[in-house]
Structure formats: C-alpha cells, structure tokens
Structure 1
Amino acid sequence: MSIEHSSPRQSRGKPRKSYRVEDEYSFLDEDEDGSAPFGKQTPSVQNGDDDDGDDFMPDAQEEEAEYEEEDEVVEEEEDSSEEHANSDESPAPTPKRNARDARNARVPQAVPTTPDVIPKRRYNDPRYKDMADNIPSPVIFKKGGGIKVRVVDTDTQLRTRGIPDFDKIGGHEPRLKNLFGPDVHHLRPVLESRDYWFPQETFPIRSYKKNKPDDAEVGSLRRSFFEAEGAREKENEVLKTWYANTGSHAFAKAQTTNKLTADEAKQYMITPGSDTMNVLAGPVNTPQVNTLARGAYMSIAKPFPGDQERRGWLFNLGSWVQDAQWATNEESSTQYLAVAIDQRPTSGDQPKPLEQPKAPAFNPTEPFPASIQIWSFEADDVGDLDASKEPQLELVICTDWGAPKHLRWCPVAATDMTEETKDAGSRPIVATAAGTVGIWSLDRPGTLRTPDATHHNPRPWFYQQLADTYILTVSSGWPSNPQFLSISTADGFARLFDLRSPNADTTASIRGRTLCLTQAWHEHTQSFVMPDEHYILRHTPIRRYYHNLYSMRLENSITRVATSPVHPGVLIGGVDGDIQASNPIMRITNYKIMPWQQKWFVHEWRGPIVRMPAKPTIGEDVTMTEVEPAEQPDGDTVPELQAGESADGTKKVPQEVLSQPLVRITEGYKAGQTGIAHSTSANATKRGNPEVGRSISIFEELTAITALAWNPNLKFGTWAVAGMASGLLRVEDVGI
C-alpha cells in the first residue's frame, strides 16, 4: 500500500506551479464560507493542507515548542477507509483527552496498523518510527537557529532574503553574480571598475583629463561606472532653474546673519586646548621640532630641507578636531574645507573627564557659543595643491546652539545638481539617540523658516523608529543608490533600509562586539564600509548586507574611514594615530588577492614629561635613549632618561620642550601586503607571553585620528584631510 504524508510541513516543501501573487495567495480572497469570489478560482490544496492555510515557514523555536506540546496530548486517529478518503464532507472534529485520562481509561484505544495518513507533527511517535524515517522532513535546522527548505527544483526554492546563498561550486563568475547581480548590466560596472583602477594599489593616481571618461588614462580620476552616464548633464538645467528662482531666495529669507568684529567673535572661538603645540617631524635620523601657535599653520615640507615635492599644510586648531569636510566646487581652482573642533560651555563649573553626573550622550546641553571654520586652498592648472599659495581663513560661522560634531556639505553644487541628486542635496537626514530617523526636504513648503515666524517646527516627510537604541552613524548609497540608508547602532548591529519601503525592505548585518563609530558608502564596490572588533575594515554589499567581506586591517581599533566618489581609494585611521590607504576593488572582486596597504603618516602625542613614570633630573637638559630594561612582566622596552650629553654627541632636549606636550609625526612608509588575519604567534612573541595571545593596546586619548575625508571634486580627488585629537589638522595632496 502506498503511504502518503499529509503533514503541512511536507506540503510547504513542494514546488509550486506558479509564483504569481494571485495564484500563490489566492486563499486570501476566499469568503468566510470557503468559496472563491466571482471571477477567481481558488486552486485546490491536496494532501490535507486545507486545515493549515498559511504557507510561511515557522521559526525553529516555534517548531520545537509544538513538539513539546504534543507530548502531553493524545489525539485519536480517524479510520482510514476509502469512504473517508473519498468523502467531500469534512470529518467531525475529534475530541482530545489528557494523557493521564487516556492511561486510566478501561477501554483500550484502537490503533490502526497501516494508516493511510501519518498524524501531523508525530515524527517522533514510536508507533510510526519506521515510516517516519523513510519520509524526508521538509524542514532542516541549520547552525545558528535558521531553517532550510528541502526542495527538488532550485528555481522555485524559498529564500528568506530574496537571493540564494553563495554557490558551493563554481569560481569567479558565480561569486560576482552573487555579489552584484546575475545580469550583464549588474556585472559590467564592477568589471570596468576593476580593469580601470587596477594600477592603483594604495594612493590615487594624480593624472586627470577633463575630456570624456573614455579618453582618460587608466587608473586616473573619474566618476563611478555605476553612475548613469550623462545623468548629471541631462538634468542639470532643471535644478539650476529651481535654485535660481526659488532655492536661493528661500535660503536668504530663512537665514538671519550678522557680521561680527574680531573682538565680538573671540567668544565663539574659545577652545579648551593649549595655546601652543610642539611638533617633531622630518627625516628619521634628523627630525626637527617646530612650535605651532593656536590657529597657525606650516608647510609639511618645512621639516624636510630640500624636499619641495610635498604639497600640504599642517594646522594647529587648538582642540580636538570633530570633523572636516570638503565643499563641492568642481570648476573653481579654489577649494573650501569646513572644520569643526571641540568647544565647551564657557560659563559654569565644568565636570572633570569621566565624572559626568549624567550621561552626556542622552542629555541635551545648554546652548553655548561655538563656530565652524571655512578654510580655502588654491590649486594649480592641473589640479595639484599649490604649495606656493598659503591657505586662508575665509569665514567663521558663529552660532549660539553649541558645538557641531558632524558636518555634511550638499553632495552637489547648486549649479551642478540634477533631478536625481536634488533629492540627495536637498534632503538632510538626522538620526537620534532614541533610535529615530527624520528626513526633511528643503524645497518642501513650510520647511524653511519665514522671517516673521517666532516658533518654527518643520515637520519631516519621513520620521520613523528604525532602532531600539542609540544610532551611532548614518550613511546613504548616493549617488547610484540614494534610496538605501545604512545605520549602525549601540546594540552592535548595522541595518540597511530602503526608504521606499522601510518596513518591508530591511536587513541587519552580523552583530559586532564593539561600537561602530564610523561608516561610509564605497561607490565602486556597491558596499558600506565600517570597522569591526578585530581592527579589520569590513564591506557589506547592498545585495549581501548580512555578509562581511574584509579588505584592510590595522594593528589597533579603527576610528575613522573615508571613501571617494572619484576613485576607489579608502583611508582608515586608528586610535594609535595610524592612517593607511588601500584600493579594495581587487580584493572584493577576487577574494584570493592579498590587498596592498600603505601608511600616509603616523601621529603620536605625549603629555608633559613630568607625568611619565621615569622622570628626569629637575632643572637639567636631558637626552632620551632606549636601553634594555630590567625584567619586565610584559616584555616591552621602557625608555630610560639620562642627563648630560650622549657619547655620540647627540644634542640635549631643553626643559621647556620636555615640560610641554609633544606630537611626533612620522611618514615615508613603504607599501606592503599585511594580510587580513593577525599573526597570533608573532604577536604573542612580541607581547612576551605566548599563552595570552592577542591583547588590547591602550593609547593616549589625544593620539587618535578623529576626522578623515577625500576631496569629492573630480579634478582635485587626490586631496585628503586628516584631523587629530591633539588639535592638529593635515591637508595634503597625496596623489602619486
């Protein structure tokens, strides 16, 4: 006798004849009596599925709960005669009795020997063990609590994320299709990006041509291959007209500005840092100490006599650099940089570090004077940073609502906007500590304040709870995918949303063990980049946001990451003051390739020498030399301070230098292939204890890199800026 399995779990694993919505979920259109409405025909569901109407797979936890519940209930089985099998009438409901009552009953229960139907959810019943072993279960529990549907036809398999897992067989081509899409228009941009920028290993190539992208040299600056060609130019006139007729007048009416004198502006530029900073830089064997006053700057070529190839400037802004961003200015040779630094209230008693009575991240501060500095830099005819023309402080925007922490320019200039980019320049996105996200449209009526309005509270067109905790970072997929929004939260997850349907189209990344304080959109690999707890830079592609791809690594925690829209180079900076650059395209397209990395420079800060464990003799100049220490538990070398002149005639360090903070900047590093995985054995040997393994290093707080950005303009894409917690800001043309 043939035995059929009527469990609803088995029916869900069967391939459907059609994936049309009206055929798949036509049971939703049935009337209460089970009949189909006029004009529609409900397909019959076989093998007893009419008692379980939904076709959604249960969670693993729910399935286990059902099995446990069945152990306490004994269900009487129906007679499996042909009359019942061929009857159109529904069988009467069978009463259920408690297991204890069933055991105490005097009348034995009749159990069929060869039933036509195996009871639902009774695979573990010993009476049907032999038959259940021969029937494949449609639900297979995978590692991690997920479920997998066993099907025969791979074209109709159910997929929880809409796309299949990575192909187990195949090589380069299946992997690219899994990451970027199965069609030619999906693969062509990434393959063109790979072939075009293969000469760029770390830093961007300086060459640039203003002609068509096809005429540009391979590896030079150009816009992304994922951006539709001609889209900017085709819609440029539309937004030009809007800004000239509406936008500029609306901004002028909504903003109230006053010009301040130098004395009036002093209170807006007060910083908690020191007035001067000593900087040790130059060749390794003959470094120089230069003193920078607050607000002063010097050329980065000054510590290198005879070397005029270095194009850049080093600023002392006096306090922690919160953010630094380049303005969009494609055609002009003058480039503008907005900088925000740490500023604090000038009135009232200020709590000491780590002694805040309340959590400052969740409590609003009282308004206080602060400012944003706008600096200008000049370029030569070919787009290189002109080191012969000094930078200028063009404008200081003074406010009374507190110090800004993050800056974002409009991604396109008013004269370069298109209809597509209008939504991304004119729609600011704000994320809050409560887990909500709000989006406003500047061109929407009622958004900008009118001059006669006293209390103005513009409503966002999008306001929704996207997380249950603090949102740390927010980034969009502009320019090719501005509809995608990525956020990182304090619970360790990063989440991707499609703003067109944020409730349905959303996914989460792999959970991290540390807070993700920085992320950026990498246009050339169609992925969001962010650090993880292993000091590695991970890529989360929009098609596989839940899958991590790794491309760069530092020796310590990553604090900042920066990407460029005109070349694939990525900059990352860490708590140890290390900044490195790499091109991740080769690594993402071919995971067997070992990526190249190169240090831009390393920034180190130390406090006054009197705070160090080894103190020099008071009142004498000293020379610092490294000697072999005594028996140390961690195996590290400790510098020993000795007074007097060394044997080789090294000059002494004056006391005025030792008594003040000092910054050391080292540069000129070679490129190398460091690899993604850390060397556990080498690291354990360095630490001195092979059984401990890798440890977490702690650095001075003011050593960290706190701001990174590439110049987004096509002609000046090799310009980079780095801000440090010590108050130093470095602007340099790093093109090669």
Structure 2
Amino acid sequence: MPAGRRSGRQSGPRTVYVDDPFQKAGISDEEDPNARRNTPGKRARRAQDEDSHSDDEFVAVSEEEAEEPAEEEENEVAGNELENELRGDSEPESDASDPDQMDIDDIEITPRKHAASRPREMHFKKRAARGIIVPSADDTHSRGIIDPKDHLSKDIHYALTFGSDERDMMAAIHSRGNWTRGIDSAFPTRYALEGKCEVDETLYGPTMGVHPDDLKKESTRGWDWYYDKKIGGSFRKRQQIETIEESLAYSRYLPQRDERKHRVRMGPQANQQTFDVGYHESFDFGMAWGNAKSGNKSEKARQGWIVNVGHRINCMAWAPNQDGLSQYLAVAAPLTEDQKNEHRSENSDPFSAFQPTDPFPGALQIWEFKAKKTETETKTLDMEKKPELRQVICADWGDLRRMAWCPMPRSKREEDEEEIRKPIGLLATVWGDGNVRVLDITRGRGAQETEFLNIKSASFEARPPATVCSCVAWLSPTEVLVGCANGFIAVWSLTSSHAPEPLPFLYRPVHSTYILSITCAYPTNPQIVATVAMDGETKMCSLVDPETETTSTVRMRAAAPYITWSPVLQCFVAGDENEFGRMLPIRRFFTTTNIARFSSNLSAMAPASPWHPCALFGSSGGEVGGTNPFRRVLYNKEQILQQTWFTHEWIPSSKSDSVGMSRFFDGFRAENQKLAKYHTTETKPVSGMGTSTTYDEGTHVTALGWNPNRPCAGWASAALGCGLVRVEDLSI
C-alpha cells in the first residue's frame, strides 16, 4: 500500500527576527515626532498571532474583508472599527503628536483566511439582454465592437457578421438556404444556380440586400448618360480606332509568333495522352478522358478548352451582361523581352513600378466561347465550336497590367440594335505608362474574321499627379476607382471626361506605399473600399469620410496582392502570406478567417461571382482549388471542404519542334481542409529548418476568373505562365 501524501507546509512556528537594524544604526522612531507608533494593544495582538501555530498570512484589510464576519473577537472588533471609519461614523481624528493615539494612516492588520477555508471569488462577465457583454468602467477598449471570440448566441454572431438590418439578414438567410448543402461544398451546382432550392423568397434575398427597384434603376436610368447625345456622344467619339493589317499586329503588338508546338499531356493518371497545340490554337481536352458513364457517346467525362496564347498572361477577365450564347474573355499577354529591347531607347531608365515605362507596343485579345443551346437556364460549353479570336486591340501605351469590366447591370435598349457595331461593355485598364483608360469595346455585327484594330485615343484617359496608377475597380456606371503607387486612392467621373486632363473629385491617402489591389463592396455598400498595399497592410475605408472612417486588419510580412468582395458571402475574400485564403467580414474587418490552404504561395485569385459564394485560388506551384466558405461564415468553427480543380507542371523542351511540355492532373476529390502549418511535404521542415520550393515561371497560375453571367456562372478560366488558358464548366 503506497504511503499517504504529506503536506509540504511548515509545521512549526515561523521564525521571527527581533533585531531591528535601524536601532543598531542609531536611528529611532523617537527622533521623529510625526512618526507612526504602534499601540500596546496592537503589539500584543501581533505577538499573540506570531506565537500561534496558524499558517495564515497577514495582509491589509480591504473593504470587502472588513465587512466579513471574523472568527475571533478581536478581529471582529477591528473590522467594526474600520467599517465605521469607512462609513464616516468614527470619532474625530486625533492629534498626530499624541503618542497615545494611533495615526489615521495606520491600517489594521488581520490574518487572511486560507484558500481552503475561504470560498474563491468568481469573476463573471456581466451580460445584458441578448447576451451582449457589458464592459466595466475599468476596462479599456480600442475597438467599438464586441470580440467575436466570446461565446455569443447565433443572433449576435450573425449581427456581427452580416448586420442587424433586415436587408442584410434576409440576404444571409436566402444564401444559407441555397448554398449550405453538401453537394456544393466546393463548386457550384446547376440546381442551385437555377434557383430550384426550396428557400423563402424574400424581397432582399435574391438581390443580396439591395432593393430590386434600385437595381432596376441602375440598369436603366444609370446608363442614360451613355445614350445621351451630348455626354455619351462625346464619350464615344473621343475613342479613335483604325484598322491595321494582320501582319503588323503579329510583328509589332503581339508576342512573337513561334512555329513550334506546345506539348500537353492530359487524361487519367494511368493513361495520359499527348496533344500538340500551336500559337493561337485550341483543342478539346475531353478527348483524353473518353465517354461519360451515363452511356451517352457524345458526352465526354470532362469537357473544356485549352488555348495557347503564346506568352505569359498578365491579366484576364470575362465580359459581363452577356445573356446570349456568345461569351467574351479578355486576355492580355505582354511582349517578350527581346521584342521590348527593340523599342527601348539607349537613355531609358531601368524598370520601376513607381514610374512610367517606355511606350512599348501592347495588345488586348478578345476571345469568344460559345454556349450550348439548352432548355434549362444554365448553359454549358459548346464543344462543337472552337474558341475564336475575335479582336486584337493594339496600342502604344506599354504593357497592359490591370483590367476590369464594368460589372453594373445594363439593360438592352433599342439604340443598341441601331448601332453599326454590337456593344460588349466598358473596360477599365491600367497601362505601363501609368494612365487609367476606359475602352468602349464593340464588335462588328456578323463579323466572322478576326478584327485587328489600333486605338489612338481612349474614351476616357486620366492620370494622378506625380505618380502612376496601379489598380482599378468600378463604383458605378459613371465612376472609376483607382489605386496609385504613392498610396492614394482616386475616383474619376466619366461624365467629366470632356476636360483635356480630368481631375479626380476624390484623391485621398490611404497607404504609405504602392497599392496592389483595390475593390469596393458593390452592390450592398459601394461606398466601402478595401485595399492591399505593398507594405502588407490591408485597410478598409469609407469614401464618405476616408480620413476618419478607416480600419485595418493584421499586417502581413509579404503582401498578397488580391482582394475581392463577395456579395453572396457579404465578406471580402483575399490572399495571405502563408499559402492561405482568408475571409474578412465587413463588420469585423480586424479579424481574419482562413478558408483555404495550398502547398505554395498564392499567385492568383478569381474575382468573386455575384451568383455563388465559391472562391477560386491559384498557386505558384500550378495548383488551382476551390471552396465554398459559406458554412464558415455562419459558424467560424465549422469544417468545410476544399477541392483541387487541377494541378499543372511545365518544363522546357530540348527538342526543336517544341517550346515546352505541360502536364495536367485532374480528378481530385473534395477533402477536409488542413489549415495546420506544415501539412504538406513541400513545407515540412528539414533538420529543424523551414523549406520552400521555387517553381518555374511557366508552372505558375497567373490569372483566374469566374464568368459573371448567370447562364454561364459555373464557367471558370485559368491562365498559366507558359501561355495556356484553360476554360471549363465546373458546375456539377
């Protein structure tokens, strides 16, 4: 039988040191007439306590302890005297010079009860109605919002995430009933895109918190300026375009044509096939997968296109407001370094993102993808009609760095049918010379051949003072939001474009350095703007008062230049420095919720779709994955799934007939997210040191995009560093 546990307390009396060092030094209390004196009763009581065998410690009596009943009579008397003093019932103060009286500053010493005999004081957070924590007067707060980490009720959590207004809550309830099923945990389904889910149709639900009448006015009256003969007429006439020869476009403005083929390997892992695709050619990669299990011989297991643009792609975007069978994809591929050296002068400055570059030639490519005619509302790719290069818009403004189509709805009018050319949309662009330009993209009606155009002047052109533009977004059909290299944000109005050098009506500093990405919370809160800068800061401000109404989240050591607003999630979606995808709710922007993780750094992110909440990320290792984070929006501890769309590898080729080889891997299943650090072999530490992998530039994912049109909302596009573009319908 083991021996019983013994107490480690001191069993005997404590040692008392009676030698006073001040007396040995010749210092006595009698020298100071105002010195504090101990009464005989106090000295006797202290000696009695020291001789006792109690383990109690001596502390100063507080107000709470003075009111508690004591076990000994002397302690009770002392407590009553002190309580009377605190209440103001004590006798008048005695003279400090009287040696027989104790000074008023003396505090009675009483023994404190041991923890075993005295109940521990429990401190509970006071809460008001609905579970809201009421801070005490002594607490110091730096934010005027409740900490979401506290254990709050669901209604409080929803109010902190979506808002307490009826419009916000109805939009959240509508999305919860439509996008929280297991089948759409990673990619959207046709069933949900067509709105067949049994959800309560509310006034603000389908419009994401905006009144339907407001959206209708914006799609009709919001475009009156464009059809106005004075304002819109001068806006369209300012754009000067002329037709050029095909040979001139390929020799000067497009990447150098290479007669060699790009070799691609795709298909099931055990039986991959090799395809050769030339410059500006495409092929159906469904041929590598065979027929589907449904028994339909004409239907392939996977359907999609791969297009060879010929060079690394800077940016890419789908044109909105296209309800027909034709869908347009804008792609920008810069010239090669050898081509730029031919146009670079001897006295040209070295490249700098903070200064304008030389006016290199550049081109914007407009590709057309056809949708298949179906009786359902959603449409898939028509694999019988190959993608066609419809337009090549050439300019001498440098590399095309950023582009953004105007996402605001635009109703069709009779004036559109009367025009000679068919309108596609307004495209805001940022070029290497530092200017922001708005292009009115149109195409000839019934034209089947590729149009090669040279644009001399844009419909709108502006530049901030003493700096260059770095990114662009839209606030409304008439307002363009621009981020600058000096950390300022600028807003221009297209209706004031008649001036030779239009000035922004808002120009305010937000960051201290280069702004990498900018977006606004359209359509719910278009006045709210979020930005990511080169210093790693992610900020959100209001255009109503950007100097005071601003906030920021946790700073990153290495900035991830991607941020977008998801109207379905009612959150900002952005990248992170550590291979993460994160989510930033607008009403608690200072918090960060991780929603995805990859094996390498994020190199691309698709702008959020207005029709589904799925996010799409690309990494420098060639991995593209998607996830539906709506479950985590509702509850931040909910486990969500992440699915890889494909992985890509590229290697250069030593053969004379090939520029390189790309290999794709498909068929991944959805898995639970592993957000822990070092969850993959590429990031595991070796000998206690962290490792990172450097990938070839041709392997990188450089741009991603969701189709913003509802019939084709499941279409996704991915641009790679080797010059390939992959387009596939991901809706299940």
TM-score interval (norm. to shorter): 0.5 to 0.7
| Aligned-partner Cα distance in 2 for 1:338–1:448 | 27
What amino acid is the match of 1:436? Answer: F
Shift in alpha-carbon separation, 1:347–1:570, aligned structure 2, 3 A:
closer
What aligned pairs does 1:520-531 form with structure 2 within 5 A after superposition? 520-531=564-575
1:238–1:552 distance in 2 versus 1, CA, 3 Å: same
Segment drifting more, 224-233 vs 387-396: 224-233
1:437 is aligned, of 484, 489, 492, to: 489
SS in 2 for 1:302: helix
The answer to whether the Cα contact below 8 Å between 2:171 and 2:206 also exists between their aligned partners in 1 is: no
Q: Please show how residues 268-417 of structure 1 align to structure 2 within 5 Å.
A: 268-271=252-255, 275-306=260-291, 308-309=299-300, 310-344=302-336, 346=339, 348=341, 358-382=350-374, 383-415=379-411
CA 1:155–1:711 in structure 2 vs 1: closer, same or farther (change >3 Å)? Answer: farther
Q: Which amino acid aligns with 1:265?
A: A
TM alignment of 1:102-251, pairs within 5 A: 160-166=142-148, 168-199=150-181, 200-207=184-191, 225-246=208-229, 248-251=232-235
**Does the 8 A contact of 1:276 with 1:292 survive in 2?**
yes
1:561 maps to 605
Judging by fraction of residues, say which structure has more strand. 2
Q: Is 1:600 the counterpart of 2:652 in the alignment?
A: no
Q: What is the CA–CA distance in structure 2 between the aligned matches of 1:214 and 1:599, rounded to whole Å?
A: 26
Cα separation, partners in 2 of 1:422 and 1:183, compared to 1, 3 Å: closer
The AA in structure 2 aligned to 1:438 is A
Deviations along 1:70-105, one digit per CA (max 9) or x if unpaired, are xxxxxxxxxxxxxxxxxxxxxxxxxxxxxxxxxxxx
User: What amino acid sits opposite 1:668 in the alignment?
Assistant: G
Structure 2 counterpart of 1:257, one-letter code: I
1:261 Cα deviation after fit: 2.0
Q: How does 1:532-571 map to 2 (within 5 A)?
A: 532-562=576-606, 563-571=608-616
Contact 2:220 2:410 in 1 (8 A): no
Distance 1:114 1:344 in 2: 89
Q: CA offsets, 1:2-53, max 9 Å, x none?
A: xxxxxxxxxxxxxxxxxxxxxxxxxxxxxxxxxxxxxxxxxxxxxxxxxxxx
SS at 1:237 equivalent: helix
The residue aligned with 2:541 is 497
Q: From the superposition, tell whether residues 677 and 538 of structure 1 become closer, same or farther in structure 2 (CA, over 3 Å).
A: same
Please say if residues 719 and 732 of structure 1, whose CA atoms lie closer than 8 Å, have aligned partners that are also in contact: yes
Measure, in 2, the Cα distance between the counterparts of 1:114 and 1:468: 59
Q: Deviations over 1:171-207 (max 9, x none)?
A: 4333222222345444332232122111211111124
Structure 2 residue runs without a partner (length 5+): 1-102, 110-132, 293-298, 414-472
In structure 1, the residue corresponding to 2:404 is in which secondary structure?
A: coil
Kept in 1: contact 2:707–2:714 (CA 8 A): yes
Equivalent-residue separation in structure 1 for 2:555 and 2:502 (angstroms): 35
Contact 1:328/1:712 (8 A) holds in 2? yes
Q: Equivalents in 2 of 1:677, 1:515: separation in Å?
A: 21
Check the 8 A contact 1:312/1:385 in 2, yes or no: yes
Letter in 2 for 1:429: L
CA contact (8 A) 1:552 1:595 kept: no
Matches of 2:134 and 2:279, distance apart in 1: 71
Q: Is the 8 A contact 1:239 1:415 kept in 2?
A: no
Task: State the one-letter code of the partner of 2:237.
Answer: K
Q: Secondary structure at the match of 2:401?
A: coil
Aligned-pair CA distance for 1:669: 1.1
Tell me, yes or no, if the aligned pair for 2:568 and 2:611 is still in contact at 8 Å.
no
Residues matched between the structures, number: 527
Residues 382-405 of structure 1: per-residue CA shift (max 9 Å, x gap): 422211122221111111111211
The Cα of 1:361 is off from its aligned counterpart by 1.6
Change (3 A) 1:217 1:712: farther
Deviation for aligned residue 1:482: 1.1
In 2, the alpha carbon distance for the partners of 1:175 and 1:503 equals 29
CA RMSD of aligned residues (A): 3.4
Change (3 A) 1:174 1:395: same
SS of alignment partner, residue 258 of structure 1: strand
Q: 1:303 to 1:392 in 2, by over 3 A?
A: same
- Distance change (3 Å), C-alpha of 1:422 and 1:166: closer
Conserved 8 A contact 1:570-1:583: yes
Helix, strand or coil for the counterpart of 2:210? Answer: coil
**Residues 579, 726 of structure 1: alpha-carbon distance in 2 compared, 3 angstrom cutoff:** same
Please tell me whether residue 711 in structure 1 is matched to residue 711 in structure 2.
no
Any gaps of 5 or more consecutive residues in structure 1?
1-112, 116-126, 131-150, 450-455, 610-654
Structure 2 Cα separation of the partners of residues 687 and 556 of structure 1: 12
Is 1:167–1:174's contact at 8 Å kept on the other side of the alignment?
no
Amino acid paired to 1:229? P
Query: Residue by residue, what CA displacement relative to the aligned partner does 1:610-632 show, whole Å, maximum 9, x if unpaired?
Result: xxxxxxxxxxxxxxxxxxxxxxx
Deviations 1:106-158 (A, max 9, x none): xxxxxxx879xxxxxxxxxxx99x9xxxxxxxxxxxxxxxxxxxx97669987
Q: Structure 1: how far apart are the matches of 2:577 and 2:232?
A: 45
Aligned pairs for 1:565-580 (under 5 A) are 565-580=610-625
Q: Which amino acid in 2 is paired with 1:512? A: M
Checking the alignment, whether the CA contact within 8 Å between 1:535 and 1:556 is kept in structure 2 is yes
Residues 664, 241 of structure 1: CA spacing in aligned structure 2 closer, same or farther, 3 A cutoff? Answer: same
Q: 1:327 to 1:601 in 2, by over 3 A?
A: same
Q: TM-score w.r.t. structure 1 length?
A: 0.66
**CA–CA separation in structure 1 for the residues paired with 2:324 and 2:556:** 43
Cα deviations across residues 55-76 of structure 1 (Å, max 9, x unaligned)?
Answer: xxxxxxxxxxxxxxxxxxxxxx
8 Å CA contact 1:321, 1:723 repeated in 2: yes
Deviations 1:434-488 (A, max 9, x none): 1122211112x3x146xxxxxx211111112221111111111112111111111
- What is residue 466 of structure 1 aligned with on the other side? 510
Contact 2:167–2:210 under 8 Å retained in 1: no
Query: Which residue is 1:669 aligned to?
Result: 668
Q: Does the 8 A contact of 2:219 with 2:408 survive in 1?
A: no
CA contact (8 A) 2:536 2:557 kept: yes
The structure whose Rg is larger is: 2
Deviations 1:252-283 (A, max 9, x none): 22111111121232234432685531111122
**Distance in 2 between the 1:483 and 1:213 partners?**
33
Mapped partners of 2:367, 2:104: distance in 1? 87
